[in-house]
Amino acid sequence: MIRRDRALALIGGGVVLAVASASLVVLLAHGAEAAPQRAEAARDEVPGDIAWVLYDVCARQSPSLIMASIAVEDGRMTVRPFDEDGTMSEEPDALAAAEIVNECLDDYQVLEDTGFYAGALWTNDVATRLLLYDYGRRWMAPCLRGHGLPVDEPVLDAFLDPSDAPWGAYYFQARVPAMEDVLEARHACGSGSDLLARDMPG
């Protein structure tokens, strides 16, 4: 069965606004970055909770892509350029910019059943939020730093803010240019939402 999710991204000024299974705002640093060398031919699997990290990594290779539609079909993420009036762009420069991003994205298979589009699992339970904070402080942050991802120390006030879900943001903080490094860390450290996948109060 084909599953198709779409989002609109506005990259101008360094901001991506996305609407899909969950809403997300990602800050992008402009500046082209060389694509990492890949030794293997197989497409790497990307857990859905870090799908936007994949988009971020690939989009930074083509900073001239200003506005785009983002879609995932059968695990393949693609972008198409938009004009300012909201219609699909046919401008050669825009199409070329999107192609750079798509060539990067094509190396990866997005696993859509694992928190697709970074929709962090949610809880309003204060005790559970405290456990998530402790989990982040004792496990997630040290593990990610140990794998070369420079994440910040978890902040208690953010974990107690009922409108925030900082346990879902560890991989977005890191801003690592090579997706392979992110995947290695994700495999070793897991997700900040892992505690919520267990039977805990919500």
CA 113 to chain centroid: 14
d(CA 191, CA 167): 8
User: 61 with 32, same domain?
Assistant: yes
pLDDT of the residue at 115:
54
pTM of the model: 0.73
Contact indicator for 158, 90 with CB cutoff of 8 Å = no
Which one of 67, 96, 117 terminates a domain?
117
pLDDT of the residue at 142:
97
Contact indicator for 196, 76 with CB cutoff of 8 Å = no
Backbone angles phi, psi at 34, to 5 degrees: -65, 140
44-47 and 108-111: which strand pairing? parallel
pLDDT of the residue at 174:
76
User: 97 with 127, same domain?
Assistant: no
Task: Name which of 5, 12, 22, 4 is nearest 172 in CA terms.
Answer: 22
Mean pLDDT per block of 10 residues along the chain (202 residues) reads: 43 37 31 41 81 92 90 92 90 95 96 60 92 97 95 96 93 84 95 80 54
Residue 202 lies in a domain: no
User: 177 with 138, same domain?
Assistant: yes
pLDDT of the residue at 199:
58
User: 76 with 166, same domain?
Assistant: no
Q: Can you give the residue range of the structural domain that contains 175?
A: 121-197
Coil/strand/helix, residue 36: coil
Contact indicator for 106, 179 with CB cutoff of 8 Å = no
Per-residue tokens: 14: 């360094």
How many domains are there within the chain?
A: 2
pLDDT of the residue at 156:
98
User: 78 with 142, same domain?
Assistant: no
Which one of 56, 86, 117 terminates a domain?
117
Q: In this structure, which amino acid lies at residue 149?
A: L
Coil/strand/helix, residue 69: strand
Q: How far is CA 5 from CA 1, 16, 76, in A?
A: 13, 16, 11
Which one of 117, 152, 182 terminates a domain?
117
User: 67 with 84, same domain?
Assistant: yes
Per-residue tokens: 28: 């992008």
